[in-house]
Amino acid sequence: PHPIYLKDYRPPEFLIEQVELRFELDPEHTRVESRLALRRNPAATRGDGSLRLHGEQLTLMQVAIDGHALTPAEYRVDAEGLTMHRVPDRFTLETQVEIHPSLNTALEGLYQSGDMLCTQCEAEGFRRLTYFLDRPDVMARYTTTLVADRTRFPVLLSNGNPVARTDLEDGRHSVTWDDPFPKPSYLFALVAGDLRAVEDSFVTASGREIQLQIFVEPHNLDKCDHAMRSLKKAMRWDEERFGREYDLDIFMIVAVSHFNMGAMENKGLNIFNDKFVLARPDTATDVDFDGIESVIAHEYFHNWTGNRITCRDWFQLSLKEGFTVYRDQEFSADVGSRAVKRISDVRTLRAHQFPEDAGPLAHPVRPESYIEINNFYTTTVYDKGAEVVRMQAALLGPESFRRATDRYFERHDGQAVTTEDFVRCMEDASGRDLTQFRRWYEQAGTPELSIQSKYDATAGTYTLSVRQETAATPGQPVKYPFHIPLTIGLLGAEGQALPVWLAGESAPPAPGTRLLELTERAHEFTLVGLTERPVPSLLRGFSAPVRVRDDLSDADRMFLMAHDSDGFNRWDAAQTLHERLLLALTDDADHPIPEDYIAAFQRALRDPSADRALLAEVLTLPSETYLSDRMTVVDVDGLHRAHRQLTRCIGERLRADLLAVYHDSAETGDYVFSPEAVGRRALKNLALAYLVRAEDGEGLALCRAQFEAAHNMTDVMAALRLLTEQGGAAAEAALDAFHRRWAGESLVLDKWFAVQAAAPRADALTRVMALLHHPDYSARNPNRVRSLVSTFSNLNQVRFHAADGAGYRFLVGQVLELDPANPQLAARLLKPLVRWRRFDPERQRLMRTELERVLGSGELSSDVFEVVSKALA
Ligand code: HT7
Ligand code: ZN
């Protein structure tokens, strides 16, 4: 497979004005008729007079231009498309093809999920439905007719509005849909099935009534309330915060159980992994409820950021994904707790994006080349892309940023554009020059800020010396300085906010947070008017996606943890304290656990006014995977031992406080999904975890009781996780009971598989391998594969990285088995092996051997080939 380069982008030679599709749907043989109105693109240079359309895995039955069937001499078909040797400047092309949904295990194009048929076209799946110019800068209007058996497929859906329905004499029926908005082919969708809908409506700011429908299999009708509530909240929020109103008269969501990713924003017909739709308090955890709210919002927000304004080419993917993640993050922050949301987003960024940016798959937010676009739906494009939008919002300020997004929506509505067009709107609306800022789109790698401080008591000044440095990444040996917004505050001895007053300014600003801008490799900021040494609160709210190395003492961090007005930085101070101690314990098991460390957390636990959710975050230790990214050579076993040691110590030393918190947080009444209730449950279950992991008798009894008595899945899973970790008869009994109780509930069974895969018990791999043969396991269901295989290899670091390499062999075996069936899934599974250079020489050897085994194993998909070849390069 060959790479595709951004520099090679050329506008399409032909445009498609109108698309008429007719699908005669059947799982075994589906016939697709297409009628395309094509015309030469005046903006493109003329080629050799031929036209090439994309098409894969299609059986061509007929092709005609302006009503005349082509003879075989007039066209050529190969594995990737259809070439017509001579075509007019304007013409109608008709094709007829056959496809086989039931054989489609890649879940790209038209496929079967359970008893239903559905499509997934992003990024390049439309070419598996019919011959087409399957690229996002070809936007067309679609009319789609679906024909299928009336009994098997009573519901037939596509994009836009239904305009005709007919019952046919042969037991089939047909529905025609018309989508008035021009769209790229990747936003096309159809669904056919025996589905039921939960219905509601929404009145837009301008008074239009929109019909809302969530389609599910009949037995899931009682699990859609939360998704519908989330949708209506998101619709209102987008009007209020971004001035964006919904445009069609219907908005539909369909939940399917076989899905490669989270969800898909097809115009007017979002298709979702059912994991991000279905929830009842007894079947879904708080984390699931939260995920549903944000994914529903994310896909809905794409209607403007992605659909009305789309990407010119796939190198611009972050234009829609980075901006839409930013929008869904802001939505969740507004409807929940801003600090807690920021903490969880930064946790994700540090745990996944920072390692990606430091490894062999590092790429810019706007990549320069790719082999397989499906490999570029990455945390860099999504999460760092959102940070890049967030930094622009910070540099512009809220009013100017809103003016800039308004301008973007107005200027580019109906177009396929670039990240450059987005930045230009930011500049035009604010008058700011973002030339240097553009490097965030172009340069890969995480900058590291080194910040040194000096207090001069005589002069009353405090000097911050800041340097930025970014390590080389593949293909980018030299890095130029980034434009970095650095938000800081200063705290006085009583914890009060001090003014951040820069030398040379005539008067101090009001005490509080201030934005400094870094553009050079080194800066010195002299802050004046200080009568005492302040404690600095650096990078408040995580104002830029950077690593920080500072000279604060542990005492400074405990002070910040107690007093910083910035909730994010209170948490970050605590994280750094945990991290430093855990790394010290990893190096030396006898390293003392300081009294003041324990005391600081005891004070936090005893503070009656503390926000429960934030407190739970503060008390949560950084994960072993995250800590491994902080070591030059990962010490897998040392980290695991240190983690257990500190956990046990906290459980023992803070026993009374943890028990008090547990009892204070008892569930009363019905399940409520609110920031307060979620925070209370999080803190309670964290307290329980410390107690159980310290093998506290009372804690263990409480855990067993909670498993028996809890009515909500959050509490049940928290208890089951701890029991499974402990092992023994109680664990087996609980797992059996859980399995019996939830037989047939696929999403709940995913949890049953995952909880066993994550438990760091010595027999974890044996158990995981046995579970591959469990009757409920299916390699054809990505959720199930992820629940077992990905959970083990990503969340059970100590067992996956077992010194004998058995974890690596297991994973590669799974990848090789899956690759022919579902390349997207196989390539994603491989990710934990990509960081092989971070481990000790023997583990490196074992991992490299397994990666080489993949490379040497013959027919690989382009997806897996790209990941492995780059990992080994
Ligand atoms: N825009 C979507 C990305 C996507 C996808 C979704 C489902 C299956 C395969 C897919 N390939 C790419 C999801 C989103 O970011 O909203
Ligand atoms: Zn998205």
CA of 263, nearest ligand number: 1
Atom number in ligand 1 closest to CA 374 = 11
Going by DSSP bridges, is the β-strand pair 209-216/196-203 parallel, antiparallel, or unpaired?
antiparallel
Domain end among 693, 723, 741? 741
CA dihedral (358, 359, 364, 365) positive or negative: negative
pTM over 0.95: yes
**Residue 553 confidence (pLDDT):** 98
Contacts of 528 (CB under 8 A, 6+ apart): 459, 460, 461, 501, 502, 503
Q: Is there a catalytic annotation at residue 299?
A: yes
The response to whether residue 379 sits with its C-beta less than 6 Å from ligand 1 reads no
For ligand 2, the distance from its centroid to the CA atom of residue 309, given in whole angstroms, is 13
DSSP state of 866: H
Closest atom, ligand 1, to C-alpha of 302: 16
Mutate to test the pocket of ligand 1, among 110, 120, 121, 122 (most ligand atoms within 8 A of CB): 122
- Closest atom of ligand 1 relative to the 377 alpha carbon: 12
For the Cβ of 372 lying below 6 angstroms from any atom of ligand 1, the answer is: no
Which residues touch 513 (CB under 8 Å, ≥6 apart)?
Answer: 487, 488, 489, 500, 540, 566
State how far the Cα of 694 lies from the Cα of 673, in Å rounded to an integer.
Answer: 30
Q: Whose CA is nearest to atom 14 of ligand 1?
A: 264
823, part of any domain: no
Largest CA distance in the chain: 95
Dist CA 776 CA 739 (whole Å): 10
Half-sphere exposure of 594 (CA within 13 A, CB side): 13
**Distance from Cα 562 to the centre of ligand 1, integer Å:** 41
Looking at this protein, which amino acid is placed at residue 174? Answer: S
Please write the tens of the pLDDT for every residue from 95-104.
999 999 999 9
- How many structural domains does the chain have? 2
Report which DSSP code applies to 830.
Answer: T
Q: Which atom of ligand 1 is nearest to the CA of 260?
A: 8
CATH number, domain with residue 719? 1.25.50.10
Residue 253 has what pLDDT?
99
Q: How far is ligand 2, taken at its centre, from the CA of residue 320, in Å?
A: 7
Q: Which residues contact 216 (CB under 8 A, 6 or more apart)?
A: 195, 196, 197, 198, 223, 224, 254, 255, 274, 277, 278
- State in Å: Cα 79 to ligand 1 middle: 24
Q: Quick one: pLDDT at residue 225?
A: 98
Q: Which ligand is nearest to the CA of 122?
A: 1
At residue 592, the pLDDT reads 98
Looking from the CA of 290 toward its CB, the CA atoms found within 13 Å total 19
Q: Rounded to an integer, what is the distance from CA 631 to the centroid of its chain?
A: 25
Q: Are 592 and 645 in contact (CB under 8 A)?
A: no
In a domain, 203, yes or no: no
Strand, helix or coil for residue 353: helix
Give the Å distance between the CA of 321 and the centre of ligand 2.
5
Amino acid at 489: G
Determine if ligand 1 sits within 6 Å of the CB of residue 290: no
Atom of ligand 1 nearest to the CA of 295: 16
Pairing assessment for the beta strands 190-193 and 172-183 based on DSSP bridges: unpaired
Q: What is the DSSP string of 316-338?
A: GHHHHHHHHHHHHHHHHHHHS-H
Helix (H) or strand (E) holding 495: none
Ligand nearest to the CA of 270: 1
Q: Smallest Cα–Cα separation from 672: which of 272, 281, 330?
A: 281
**Beta bridge partner(s), residue 379:** none
pLDDT value, residue 858: 87
State what percent of residues in the chain have pLDDT above 70.
Answer: 100
Q: Tell me if 52 is assigned to some domain.
A: yes
Instruction: Calculate how far, in angstroms, residue 263's C-alpha sits from the geometric centre of ligand 2.
Output: 8
Q: Is 593 buried (19+), middle (13-18) or exposed (0-12) by CB count in 10 A?
A: middle
Atom of ligand 1 nearest to the CA of 259: 8
Q: What is the Cβ-side half-sphere exposure of residue 318, based on CA atoms within 13 angstroms?
A: 29
Residue range 519-549, pLDDT digits in tens: 999 999 999 999 999 999 999 999 999 999 9
Q: Is 377 in the pocket of ligand 1 (CB under 6 A)?
A: yes
Residue owning the nearest CA to atom 7 of ligand 1: 261
120 lines ligand 1 (CB under 6 A): yes
pLDDT value for 121 = 99
Which residue's CA is the closest to the ligand 1 atom numbered 13?
Answer: 264
Q: Which of 667, 675, 666, 684 is closest to 619 using CA atoms?
A: 684
Residue 314 resides in a domain? no
Ligand 1 atom at minimal distance to the Cα of residue 299 = 16
Ligand positioned closest to the Cα atom of 324: 2
Q: What is the mean pLDDT of the chain?
A: 98
Identify the residue whose C-alpha is closest to ligand 1 atom 2.
Answer: 264
Name the token pair of 297: 């919002």
Residue 467 pairs with which residues in a beta bridge?
A: 450, 522
H helices present in 697-805, as ranges: 697-709, 713-726, 729-741, 746-758, 764-771, 782-785, 791-795, 797-800
**Distance from the CA of 319 to the center of ligand 1, in angstroms?**
14
Query: Which residue out of 266, 271, 377 has the highest number of ligand 1 atoms within 8 Å of its CB and is therefore the one to mutate?
Result: 377
Q: Select from 134, 163, 192 the last residue of a domain.
A: 192
Top mutation candidate among 253, 264, 325, 382 for ligand 1, by most atoms within 8 Å of CB: 264
- Do the domain assignments include residue 122? yes
**Which of 152, 175, 192 is a domain's end point?**
192
Is 756 in contact with 721 (CB distance < 8 Å)? no
Evaluate: CB of 299 within 6 angstroms of ligand 1.
yes
Catalytic residue among 13, 20, 124, 299: 299
Our answer on whether the CB atom of 321 is closer than 6 Å to any ligand 1 atom is yes
Return the CATH number at 54: 2.60.40.1730
The rounded distance, in Å, linking the Cα atoms of 72 and 463 is: 77
Gap from CA of 841 to ligand 2 centroid (Å): 39
Evaluate: CB of 122 within 6 angstroms of ligand 1. Answer: yes
Assigned domain for 653 exists = yes
**Of 293, 300, 166, 279, the residue nearest 224 (C-alpha):** 279
Ligand nearest to the CA of 320: 2
Cα–Cα distance between 613 and 686 in angstroms, integer?
Answer: 11
Q: Is the CB of 264 under 6 A from ligand 1?
A: yes
Q: Measure 263 CA to ligand 1 centroid, in angstroms.
A: 6
Closest residue by CA, ligand 1 atom 11: 122
Rounded to the nearest angstrom, the distance between the alpha carbon of 315 and the centre of ligand 1 is 15
Pocket flag, ligand 1, residue 298 (CB < 6 Å):
yes
Residue matched to tokens 């239903």: 116
- With a 6 Å cutoff on the Cβ, whether 342 touches ligand 1 is no
Determine the distance from the C-alpha atom of residue 518 to the mean position of all C-alpha atoms in its chain, rounded to a whole number: 29
The CA distance from 524 to 464, in Å, is: 6
- The C-alpha atoms of residue 799 and residue 537 are separated, in whole angstroms, by 38
484-491 and 514-518: which strand pairing?
Answer: antiparallel
Determine the distance separating the centroid of ligand 1 and the alpha carbon of 271, expressed in angstroms: 10
**Pocket flag, ligand 1, residue 260 (CB < 6 Å):** yes
Q: Quick check: 562 and 606 in contact, CB under 8 A?
A: no
Which residue from 120, 261, 318, 863 has its CB within 8 A of the most atoms of ligand 1, so it is best to mutate?
A: 261
Selection from 714, 663, 722, 656 nearest residue 689 by Cα:
722
For residue 365, how far is its CA from the centre of ligand 2 (angstroms)?
14
Q: Enumerate residue ranges in the chain where pLDDT < 50.
A: none
Does 317 sit in the ligand 1 pocket, CB within 6 Å? no
Residue 232 has, within 13 A of its CA and on its CB side, a CA count of 16
The bound ligand whose nearest atom lies closest to the alpha carbon of 323 is 2
Q: At 869, list the tokens.
A: 């070849």
| Ligand 1 atom with least separation from CA of 271 | 7
CA 588 vs. chain centroid, Å, equals 36
For ligand 1, atom 4, name the residue with the nearest CA. Answer: 122
**CA of 560: how far to CAs of 196, 343, 619, 717, 731, in Å?**
53, 16, 15, 33, 41
Does the CB atom of residue 124 touch ligand 1 within 6 A?
no
Residue 265: CB within 6 Å of ligand 1?
yes
> Residues with Cβ < 8 Å from 834, sequence gap 6 or more?
359, 360, 361, 867, 870, 871
Protein residue whose Cα sits closest to atom 12 of ligand 1 = 122
692 is a domain residue:
yes
The amino acid present at 126, given as its one-letter code, is F
ipTM tops 0.90: yes
Element (H, E) at 857: none
In contact, 231 and 212? CB cutoff 8 Å: yes
The reply to whether ligand 1 has any atom less than 6 angstroms from the CB of 828 is no
Please identify, by atom number, the ligand 1 atom nearest to the C-alpha of residue 382.
15
Cβ 152 vs Cβ 26: under 8 Å: no
Residue 719, domain extent:
551-741
| Residue 667 is assigned to a structural domain of this protein | yes
pLDDT tens-digit series, residues 428-449: 999 999 999 999 999 999 999 9
Instruction: Tell me how far the alpha carbon of residue 269 lies from the centroid of ligand 1, in angstroms.
Output: 14
Q: Which long-range contacts (CB under 8 A, 24 or more apart) does 385-388 make?
A: 385/318, 385/321, 385/322, 385/323, 385/325, 385/326, 386/322, 386/323, 386/325, 386/326, 386/329, 386/345, 387/349, 387/544, 387/545, 388/318, 388/322, 388/440, 388/441, 388/545
CA of 723 to the centre of ligand 1 (A): 36
